[in-house]
Structure 1
Amino acid sequence: MAEILRIDGSQDLPASPTLPANVEAEAALLGALMIDNRIVEDVQLRLKAHHFFEPLHGRIYDAVLRMTDKNMIANPVTLRPLFEADEAMKEVGGPAYLAQLTGSGAAVIGARDFAAQIYDLALLRALVGVGREMVEGALDTSEDVAPLAQIERAETELYRVAEEGGSEGKVKSFSDATKEAIKNIEVALNNGGHLSGITTGLDGVNAKIGGLHRSDLTILAGRPGMGKTSLATNMAFAAAQRYQRDIEDGIEPAKSAGAAVAFFSLEMSADQLATRILAEQSGISSENLRTGKISRQEFQQLARASGELSSLPLYIDDTPGLTIAALRTRSRRLKRQKNIGMIVVDYLQLLSGSGKGSSGDNRVQEISEISRGLKQLAKELHLPVLALSQLSRAVEQREDKKPMLSDLRESGSIEQDADIVLFVFREDYYVAAREPKRAMDGDDAKVFEAHEQWQRDMERVYGMAELIVAKQRHGSTGKVRMRFDARVTKFSDVANEEYLPEFRG
C-alpha cells in the first residue's frame, strides 16, 4: 500500500505516485521507426529524446534520428555498434534487444498515435514536476519566505511546459499567408492609407512606418535629454486612447488601430509617468505640477483631465530590477487578464538577463539575451514591443551629433533583433549648450555677433525634433520632423510635413 503523506491534517496524498508513462508504446514506436525510417519525418519535429520515460529508449531514439539525418539506414544491425557498451542495454539482454523491438510489424500502423501519447505523457510528467517544486518550495521555510517570487517562478515554469506543448511548428500555406497580408492591408486602407499597425499618435510617424506592427520589436533610442521617454509615453497614451475610443464606437478590438498598453518603467515611478501624461493632456507645465505652482483654475483643468483618463487601458509596472524572464511572465499575465496589445519597456539596459555577469563580454551576452527575449515576446504574444535604449557617448564626441546604428550601446544584437530602429534627435538641446558669452556694453563686435548668431540658430531649431528611422524591415529609412513642447513633454506633428527620402547615417 502506498505510503501516505499528511500535509495539513485535512487531506491525505500518496507520497510517491506513479508517474504517467507508457513504456510499451515507447518500445513499439522504436520498433516501427527501425522497420520504416520514413516515419521519422512524421514524428521528429515534435518528439524529442527527453520525452521518453525510459532513458535507454531515449538514447535509441536519438541514435535513430542521428543516423537518418546522415541519410543512413537505422535498423538493429546498423545501430548495434552504438550500444555494445551501453550498461542499460546489457541489463535487458544486450544489443539483441534492438531486434526484439522490431518483432511486431503491426506497430508501424499505429506509430503516429504512439508518438502523440509519448509526447502527451511527457508533458504530464513535466506538470507533475512543476507541482512538486511548488509544494516543496511552499513548505520550505528555512530561507527567506517570498511567496510572490515563488508564484512568479511557478508561472514561468507552467508557461514553459505550455510553450513546449505548443512548440510543434506550423507550416502555413501561401493562401493562409496572403489572407493575413490582405487583412493587414485592409486595416491600413480603412485608416486612411497609412496605418497598418498600432497608432503612434503622430501622423508623420504613422505615414513613415505604418504604425507599430504586431510581432515587431521597435527600438527607440537617444542620448539623455532627447525626450525618448516622453515620446514613448506619448505613443503609449495615444494607443490606449485610440483603443478606448474604438471600443466605445463599437469597433472590434482586433480591428482597432489602438491597443491596451503595458508600460514597464524601470527608471521612473508610476506617479511620475502619470504626471507627464496629465501635463500633456491638461496643458499645464509638468514642472509646475511637480512643485504645486498651479492656480485653482488649473487644478480644476487637472481634475477634469484626470477624470477623463481614469478608465484609460494603460497599465504601468514600475518594479525596479526586472529580469527578462520576469518581464515575460508579467506580460503573459497582462495579456491573459487585460488583453494588452502593446508593450513599452523603459529602458532595455535596466533589464537583467538570467546570468550573473554584468561587465565585459558577459554584459554583451546579457544584452543579447534581453533583446532576443523581447523579440521572442513580441512574436509569442503577437503584439508590438517598443523598447527604449541608451546610446553610447560616441555621439557627444562627434561634430555631427545625429545618432547612427553603431551608437547603440553595449551590443550589436539590438540592431540585429530589432525590426525598426528609431532615434530621437533634438538639435536645440545641443545648440542651447553652446550659448556663447552674453554681449555686454564695452564688448567688441565679435562677441555681439557670436551671440546674435547663436540666437538665430536657436530660433531656427527651437522646439523642433527629428525622429530618424535608421532601420525598417518593412520600408525605407528616413526622417520625420516633429515639434516638441518641453513645458508639457509633448511631441506633435509639424504642419505640411515633408519626408526626406533616405537616411544615410
Structure 2
Amino acid sequence: MNEAARRIVPMAKDQGDATYREAPNNLEAEQALLGAILVNNDAFYRVSDFLKPVHLHEPLHRKIFEVAGDIIRMGKTANPVTIKTFLKADEKVGDMTVAQYLARLAAEAVSIINAEDYGRAIYDLALRRSLITIGEDMVNIAYDAPLDMPPQSQIEDAERRLFELAETGRYDGGFQAFNDAVALAIDMAGQAFERDGSLSGISTGIHSLDGRMGGLQRSDLIVLAGRPGMGKTSLATNIAYNIAATYEGEVQADGSMKAKNGGVVGFYSLEMSSEQLATRIISEQTEVSSSKIRRGDISEQDFEKLVACSQHMQKVPLYIDQTGGISIAQLSARARRLKRQRGLDCLVVDYIQLMTGSGKSSDNRVQEITQITTGLKALGKELNVPIIALSQLSRQVESREDKRPQLSDLRESGSIEQDADVVLFVFREEYYVKNMEPRDEFDPKYEEWKQKFEAVKGTADVIIAKQRHGPTGTVKLAFQAEFTRFTDLADPSFTQYEH
C-alpha cells in the first residue's frame, strides 16, 4: 500500500532555500476508507451525507469513490470487480494496474467501524485546502489591487466565499449534475409530505395564504407592498412571529440543527425600533391594544398577560436588526453571520426604499433600487432562505377611482417586479371607505355608506399579483386594527381564486 501511495503522492522538494509545502492531505485515510467501502458497502452510507468525491485529494481516489457511490445508490454491489470496468484499464498506480490497486485496497481494508472517522479526517483536510486557496487568492488580489475591485468589494467577496465554505464544504459553485438536482427536488417533496400541513415551503401561520402559495419557498424573494396604513408591516411581523413561534429543530448527521417546522427569523427593521416592533407583537399575542401598552393604560389582568407573553417570547428565535439606512452589503454580511451563529430560515426587510446600495452614492435612485433587489435575490439563493421584502407603492394609487394596487404601482423601479418571485399587495378597503364617511349622519347617503362600511369592516385583501410557482388571485383575511393582527376569516368561502 505504501509503495503505491508513494507513487501517487508528490514528495516535498527543496526549491533553493524555500521548502515546497504540500497541500494538507492524508492518502492513507483515503485508502482505508475506500477499502472499507469495497469490503462492506454500508461504509459508504456512513460518510455519504457529508463526504463528496471532490473532498478526496487524489484524483484516482475521487473517481473510485464517485463510481462506488453511483453503483451503491443503484442498489448494486460495489467491489473491485464491478468498479474496475468504469476506470481506465491502462492507468498505472506505481507498478500496479488499477485492478490490482483496487484488489489491494480491499485486501488491506480496515473495519467499517472506523469509516466515519476516516471520512471526517478527509473532509477536514479538504476544508483546509479550500481555506488555503481562498487565503492565497485574497493575498494575490490585495497585492495586485485591480482598479475594478476596491478593498470593500474584496472583503465582501472573501466573506461570501468563507460563508459558502462553512455552509457546504465547498465554494467553487459551477455546474451541478442534473441527477443531483432531481434528488434535491425529491427530498423537498418528501419533507413537504412530512411537514405539518404538507407544505413545500415554510408555513406563514395564515392557512388561506399558505393554501395559495404552498408556504414560503426557500430562495424566493417575496415582495410585500402597500400604501401607508394598509398594514404591510403588521402582516410581515405576524408572519415572522408565526414562523419563529412554531420553530421545531432537528439535529442533522453533522451535528447542525435544521428546522423541521417553523424556523429562525431575521428581521431588519429600518423604520421602527426593536421596542416598537416587540410592542406590536406583544399586542397581537395578548390582544391588548398597542396604544394602551405604550401609555401604560392597562389593568392588572392585562399586565399579567403581558408578563406571561414576554416569558414565552424570550424563547422564540426571532432576531431584530434596527440599523437605519443599512446597505445591501452590510445586510448580506449580517445575515450570513446570523446563519452561521444561530441558524436562519427566513429574512424580513422593512422596507426596500429605506435601504442603500453598496456602491457609491448615486443620484439615480432607480439604479440603486435595482442593485438592492438584485442583491436580495442573490442573498436568498446563497442562504437558501425566503426573503420577505416590504415595499412602498407610488401615490398614483390614490388618484384612481379603484384603489386596488397593480404591479405598475411598485415605486421607483421595474426591477422590484422583475426580481421578485412573488408580489403580494395588502389592500384594506375599510381604510378608504372609513375616510368617505358623510359628516352628517342624517345625510340620505349615510345609510348606504354604513352598509358598505359594515361589509368591509375588519377585513383585508392580500392580492397575489405575481407568483412564479403558482396561481395569482386574492386571499381575504380578517384584520384586527387595534391588535395589528391578520388572521384567517371564519368563513373560508371568502377566499377568491383567479388563474
TM-score of the superposed pair, with normalisation by structure 2 = 0.67
Distance 1:152-1:315 versus aligned 2 partners, 3 A rule? farther
SS in 2 for 1:254: strand
Matched with 2:31 is: none
Q: Quick check: 1:155–1:329 contact (8 Å CA) kept in 2? A: no
1:417 match: 419
Q: Does 1:159 find its partner at 2:159?
A: yes
2:368 is matched with 366
Aligned to 1:45: none
Q: How big is the shift at 1:340?
A: 1.2
- What code does the residue aligned with 2:235 have? L
CA distance in 2, matches of 1:335, 1:131: 28
Q: Which residue of 1 aligns with 2:456?
A: 461
1:221–1:162: structure 2 CA closer, same or farther, 3 Å change rule?
A: same
**What is the match of residue 379 of structure 1?**
381
* Distance verdict in 2 for CA 1:240–1:154, change over 3 Å: farther
Q: Which residue, out of 316, 323, 330, partners 1:326?
A: 330
Q: How does 1:390-405 map to 2 (within 5 A)?
A: 390-405=392-407
Match of 1:51 in 2: none
Contact (CA 8 Å) 2:265, 2:319: kept in 1 or not?
Answer: yes
Amino acid at match of 1:481: K
How many Å apart are 1:397 and its aligned residue?
A: 0.9
* SS at 1:397 equivalent: coil
* Aligned ranges 1:40-51 → 2 under 5 Å: none
Contact 1:152/1:326 (8 A) holds in 2: no
3-state SS of 1:487 partner: helix
Tell me which of 491, 501, 504 is aligned to 2:497.
501
Residue 120 of structure 1 deviates from its aligned partner by 8.7
Which residue in 2 is equivalent to 1:234? Answer: 238
Counterpart in 1 of 2:139? 128
Unpaired stretches in structure 2, ≥5 consecutive residues: 1-17, 23-128, 145-150
Q: Distance in 2 between matches of 1:297 and 1:120?
A: 57
In the aligned structure 2, how far is the partner of 1:384 from the partner of 1:374? 10
- Per-residue CA distance 1:400-454 (angstroms, 9 max, x = gap): 11111111100001111111110001000000111112235xxxxxx2x211111
* Between 174-183 and 278-287, the greater mean CA deviation after superposition: 174-183
TM-score, length basis structure 1? 0.66
Residues 247 and 284 (structure 1 numbering): CA distance in 2 closer, same or farther, change over 3 Å?
farther
Q: CA deviation at 1:184?
A: 2.0
Q: Which amino acid aligns with 1:437?
A: R
Aligned residue identity for 2:207: D
User: Which residue of structure 2 lines up, in the alignment, with residue 202 of structure 1?
Assistant: 206
**TM-superposition CA deviations, 1:161-210 (whole Å, max 9, x none):** 54798663443333322222222222333346552111111000111001
Identity, in percent, stands at 49
1:203-235 Cα shifts (integer Å, max 9, x gaps): 001110011111111000000000000000000
Structure 1 ranges of 4+ moved more than 4 A: 118-122, 129-133, 151-155, 163-167
Quote the residue 2:34 is aligned against: none
Q: Tell me the matched-pair count.
A: 360
Alpha-carbon distance in 1 for matches of 2:186, 2:135? 40
The answer on whether the counterparts of 2:246 and 2:262 sit within 8 Å (CA) in structure 1 is: yes
Contact 1:466 1:481 in 2 (8 A): yes
Instruction: Give, in whole Å, the separation in 2 of the partners of 1:467 and 1:393.
Output: 19
Matched residue type, 1:342:
C
Structure 1: any 5+ residue segments left out of the alignment? 1-17, 23-117, 134-150, 441-446
Shift, 1:322, TM fit: 0.4
Q: Which amino acid aligns with 2:497?
A: P
CA contact 1:188–1:194 (8 Å) conserved in 2: yes
Structure 1 stretch displaced more, 415-424 or 255-264: 255-264
2:176 to 168, 172, 176: 172
Residues 253, 161 of structure 1: alpha-carbon distance in 2 compared, 3 angstrom cutoff: closer
Amino acid at match of 1:397: S
Tell me: CA distance 1:465–1:122, structure 2 relative to 1, closer, same or farther (3 Å): same
Tell me the SS of whatever aligns to 2:417: helix
Q: Secondary structure at the match of 2:413?
A: coil
Structure 2 letter corresponding to 1:500: Q
Conservation of the 8 A alpha-carbon contact between 1:344 and 1:385: yes
Q: Using the alignment, how far apart are the partners of 2:288 and 2:152 within structure 1?
A: 40
Alignment of 1:186-335 (within 5 A): 186-191=190-195, 194-244=198-248, 253-254=257-258, 256-335=260-339
Instruction: Give, in whole Å, the separation in 2 of the partners of 1:314 and 1:163.
Output: 21
The answer to whether 1:437 aligns with 2:433 is: no
Q: CA deviation at 1:296?
A: 1.2
The separation in 2 between residues aligned to 1:193 and 1:224, in whole angstroms, is 33
The answer to whether the Cα contact below 8 Å between 2:257 and 2:343 also exists between their aligned partners in 1 is: no
- AA partner of residue 475 (structure 2): V
RMSD, matched Cα? 3.0
Distance 1:295 1:433 in 2: 32
Amino acid in the other structure paired with 2:158: L
User: How far apart are the structure 2 equivalents of 1:381 and 1:475?
Assistant: 23
Structure 1's 124 and 199: CA in aligned 2 closer, same or farther, altered over 3 A? same
In the alignment, structure 1 residue 489 sits paired with structure 2 residue 484: yes
Residues 273 and 169 (structure 1), Cα distance of their counterparts in 2 relative to 1, 3 Å cut? same
Q: CA deviation at 1:253?
A: 4.9
Deviation of the 1:357 alpha carbon: 4.1
Q: Deviations over 1:363-403 (max 9, x none)?
A: 11100000000000000001111100001111111111111
